[in-house]
Amino acid sequence: MFFREVINEDLGCVSYVVADGSEAAVVDPKWEIEEYLGMAEENGFGIAHILETHNHADHVSGRGRLAAAAGARIHAPAEAQAAYEHEPLREGDEIRVGDVRITALATPGHRPEHLSFLARDGSRSGEAWMLLSGDFLFVGDLARPDLAVEAEEGARGIFRSLRKLEGLGDFVELWPAHIGGSLCGGAAMSRKPSSTLGFERRFNPHLQVGDEEKFVRNIAAELPPQPPNFERIVELNRGPLLTEAAPPRALTPQRVEELLRGGAVLIDGRDQREFDGAHVPGSINVTTNQSGVGTRAAWVVPPDAEILTTAGGDEKARGMVRMLEAVGFRRIRGYLAGGVAAWRAAGLEVKTTPALDVSGLARLLERKEASLLDVRSVEEWREGHVEGSIHLPYQELRDGIPEKLRGAERPLAVACSGGVRSALAASLLERAGVEGIMHVADGGVPDLERFGVRLTR
Amino acid sequence: MFFREVINEDLGCVSYVVADGSEAAVVDPKWEIEEYLGMAEENGFGIAHILETHNHADHVSGRGRLAAAAGARIHAPAEAQAAYEHEPLREGDEIRVGDVRITALATPGHRPEHLSFLARDGSRSGEAWMLLSGDFLFVGDLARPDLAVEAEEGARGIFRSLRKLEGLGDFVELWPAHIGGSLCGGAAMSRKPSSTLGFERRFNPHLQVGDEEKFVRNIAAELPPQPPNFERIVELNRGPLLTEAAPPRALTPQRVEELLRGGAVLIDGRDQREFDGAHVPGSINVTTNQSGVGTRAAWVVPPDAEILTTAGGDEKARGMVRMLEAVGFRRIRGYLAGGVAAWRAAGLEVKTTPALDVSGLARLLERKEASLLDVRSVEEWREGHVEGSIHLPYQELRDGIPEKLRGAERPLAVACSGGVRSALAASLLERAGVEGIMHVADGGVPDLERFGVRLTR
């Protein structure tokens, strides 16, 4: 039996390749399919089956591209209401690749149609060896229950689905569809991609709770906000097969300027400090220095916007095209060839954002020479913030200038915890026409204490 | 806790990256270190520790290169007799990365100094979650016991080391240093990289055997031959740190010809059929179409030979330089820039090997118009061979023309099971000056039955 995980590191999504002899199955394929094809060629197997655990909400499935490239048959949950051609899967249905049997187990909760897959390697034993748990059971956590139905209903589903695992041995491996950093689970999700049922039974706090009401209260409480693109991604995943990736077109500065004038959005993936130094007016800084590029972009850019990219090098700009496609952007026009240097060389206008570090911010706050805009999450704010600062999670800046900012003193120093979200927020404000913005780089609010600024909890 | 396996697919070796917060440890690093460095940069951690389970015999450790690149501290078994600077590790010694504790467990058998590592994630539980078992316990198999000591002694060591796992739960994950295809274990090794102690306890046949004598008889019996480079690799791994990789130098056809005249060996990684069509006289075909490039080359080329490479494209030829370094070749001069096409364009001589497929071979055998040289392993030969054919595993062709071939009728058709080893064997014979060779491509002896040739068992 051949087995490999293939991770989309940007989104924290995990897919799996299960093969035996000349045949393979890919479970929950990601949008970029090159790795699957390379693996098939290197190992001399053909991709005969594609399996989906559910209609994903956080990434666009690569099933259409993979089916077109490899001629594979698609198997999807019968209840997924899929508009594409597929073999409907129900509890107990089985797919074989060589000696390996993959059996569907209905595990509703995260979504009503959700299936997990039990894999058995007949050459080793007739017993289940692995549970590919999709977005049901994670390492150290559980799926969020509120994306398809009411949180309470979802939580009850998860509680009951967990009972179905009781007959499986402690030695069964657990391979979920997400790792830490994904938006489909909570903060407790591990960055370790796999675990075992025995380990999770003992040490996953949610699995210690035998009382359904208490369980439901626990996991339906305090859910993070839902990204605005999730419903759209589900629709894309349910709809007709997407077989074509956007051609990553090289565009001249002049052409980019034309498209920007027509309403396109330029997403700049460079390091925050480089962006501060010089950037295309109106462009948005979503640095590729940190994972979650697609997710951050999807929070602040309308899904039907015309998109352009630029980054530190054309190769990275092309990579961003795929990252953005993976979260459902379908109108990506290309990238700025040669980057911002080419833009400047063409004599076009650039903007600069004044940046300061945490010690500089502390000094300004002490002298009351600036207001502070804190763009971190509600949880982070609660853990410690500066008295009198303005709190607006960066996601709330997507629709222009919020009311809260109207009377704020200038300059307005924009901070988060490390400098990534603050750069994004500063670029959004600049785009909206707000003046007197400063970007707090290389650190953020939690670091202020070291410079004598008191944080309120 | 962050955890990733990093596989050397050519050799079937597996290394691991364990990280938490800003620190990481790499266990059993492979020669090519770029993947570790990329992972560290992407995830924002520094590689602080390098751990070795034992002195590897099948691949050159990348520890020297990684220590030089990342400033990491090297930890090696106290009994490894290592000549390089390191922290000696003994049973119970512990290394911490963030909340993760990695504890050494002495598991001699494969080699006397062998350690396994137990990993605990303090943020989940104080109990062991993973056993990084090195070359001790594999998925579906055990390490071979005969590389460092007598097979029986090694087998007794493994038996006793297995007893030390009895206190660990079924839920503990098993992550060995090899997957199927590696020469360090038997044929039962799975191509699935991981398992659990509970699954192996139930379904690994060696772990069912509680009687020491029977266990020793089982695993010390019928061991495959030992590759000639293994002792040399152990010496390299024990000796002073290797910090420099060979520069992959582009060489002109004229320079390659000069080096060949001086005794260098050209290893050609192209597809077998392409090699048959036209190749540099005396070059050896070790196709990169199939994994085990380093291993096959090491079987037939002296480890101290001057080496040149060529392949389907310069990129692949450079990749071969790394693959060959990973099995201990230290005198790699570079690659033929532009490949065999450039050689031909320079007006230099090429050779052709007549090739035939299995139906053609069957016809020749039926009409008694050729002898058959079968270069498969002893086990494959026993499972079915052609009466009257000559059997010489390809490894035995490395020292010139074997006695067995002297009286054989011509032409001599060279076959294996798929066409890879037969191409290698045919190139070795041609290099040794044997005439009238034909290469059986795209199939081999087991396929002859379909064409009416009886196989003897």
Report pLDDT digits (tens) over A156-213. Answer: 999 999 999 999 999 999 999 999 877 776 778 999 999 999 999 999 999 999 999 9
Whether A2 sits inside 8 A of B192 (CB atoms) is yes
Task: Give A55→chain B minimum CA distance, Å.
Answer: 27
Q: Which residues of A touch B125 (CB under 8 A)?
A: 199, 202-203
CA dihedral A352, A353, A357, A360 (to 10 degrees): 100
Q: Which residues of A touch B206 (CB under 8 A)?
A: none
> Is B195 in CB contact (< 8 Å) with chain A?
yes
Note the maximum CA span of chain B.
72
Whether A121 sits inside 8 A of B195 (CB atoms) is no
Q: Which residues of A touch B124 (CB under 8 A)?
A: 140, 190, 199, 203
Whether B171 sits inside 8 A of A170 (CB atoms) is yes
Compare CB distances from A171 to B4, B121, B198 and report the shortest one's residue. B198
> Is B71 in CB contact (< 8 Å) with chain A?
no
Cβ pair B416, B376 in contact under 8 A: yes
Q: Which residues of A touch B127 (CB under 8 A)?
A: 202-203
Cβ pair B298, B229 in contact under 8 A: yes
Whether B192 sits inside 8 A of A3 (CB atoms) is yes
Compare CB distances from A191 to B2, B173, B197 and report the shortest one's residue. B2
Whether B191 sits inside 8 A of A2 (CB atoms) is yes
- pLDDT score at A399: 87
Cβ pair A268, A310 in contact under 8 A: yes
> Is A316 in CB contact (< 8 Å) with chain B?
no
Cβ pair B246, B332 in contact under 8 A: yes
The C-alpha R_g of chain B, in whole angstroms, comes to: 24
- Tokens representing B126 are 């104080």
- pLDDT score at B94: 98
pLDDT tens readout for residues B127-185: 999 999 999 999 999 989 998 889 999 999 999 999 999 999 999 999 999 998 777 76
3-state DSSP assignment of residue A111: coil
Cα A260 to chain centroid distance, Å, stands at: 26
> Is A190 in CB contact (< 8 Å) with chain B?
yes
Q: Which domains does chain B have, with CATH numbers?
A: 2-238 (3.60.15.10), 250-345 (3.40.250.10), 355-456 (3.40.250.10)
DSSP β-ladder status, B195-196 and B173-176 = antiparallel
Task: Give A229→chain B minimum CA distance, Å.
Answer: 25
- pLDDT score at A181: 76
- pLDDT score at B192: 96
Best residue in A139, A192, A323 to probe B by mutation, most B CBs within 10 Å?
A: A192
> Is A198 in CB contact (< 8 Å) with chain B?
yes
> Is B127 in CB contact (< 8 Å) with chain A?
yes
**Predicted confidence band of residue B227 (pLDDT cuts 50, 70, 90):** confident
> Is A291 in CB contact (< 8 Å) with chain B?
yes
Task: Give A126→chain B minimum CA distance, Å.
Answer: 10
Best residue in B10, B196, B288, B291 to probe A by mutation, most A CBs within 10 Å?
A: B196
Which distant-in-sequence residues (6+ apart) come within 8 Å of B2 by Cβ?
A191, A192, B17, B18, B19, B20, B24, B43, B45
> Is A312 in CB contact (< 8 Å) with chain B?
no
- pLDDT score at B183: 73
Cβ pair B101, B129 in contact under 8 A: no
Compare CB distances from B125 to A9, A169, A203 and report the shortest one's residue. A203
Q: Which residues of B touch A198 (CB under 8 A)?
A: 169-171, 196, 198
- pLDDT score at A343: 97
- pLDDT score at A419: 95
Task: Give A256→chain B minimum CA distance, Å.
Answer: 29
Rounded to an integer, the average pLDDT of B196-219 is 96
Task: Give B221→chain A minimum CA distance, Å.
Answer: 22
Res. B409: pLDDT tops 90: no
Compare CB distances from B203 to A124, A191, A202 and report the shortest one's residue. A124
Burial category of B157 from C-beta neighbours within 10 Å (exposed 0-12, middle 13-18, buried 19 and up): buried
Rounded to an integer, the average pLDDT of B433-448 is 95
- pLDDT score at B407: 83
- pLDDT score at B223: 84
> Is B169 in CB contact (< 8 Å) with chain A?
yes
> Is A9 in CB contact (< 8 Å) with chain B?
yes
B411 cis-preceded (ω within 30 degrees of 0): yes
- pLDDT score at A67: 97
- pLDDT score at B244: 92
Mark the ranges of chain A whose per-residue pLDDT is less than 70: 185
Cα separation values, B201 from B115, B138, B175, Å: 20, 12, 15
The secondary structure element, H or E, covering residue A115 is: strand A115-121
> Is A125 in CB contact (< 8 Å) with chain B?
yes
> How many CB pairs lie under 8 A apart between chains A and B?
91
- pLDDT score at B448: 97
Q: Which residues of B touch A191 (CB under 8 A)?
A: 1-3
Share of chain B above pLDDT 90, in %: 90
The C-alpha R_g of chain A, in whole angstroms, comes to: 24
Task: Give B250→chain A minimum CA distance, Å.
Answer: 25
Which distant-in-sequence residues (6+ apart) come within 8 Å of B363 by Cβ?
B451
pLDDT tens readout for residues B14-49: 999 999 999 999 999 999 999 999 999 989 999 999
- pLDDT score at B165: 97
- Tokens representing B174 are 């098993």
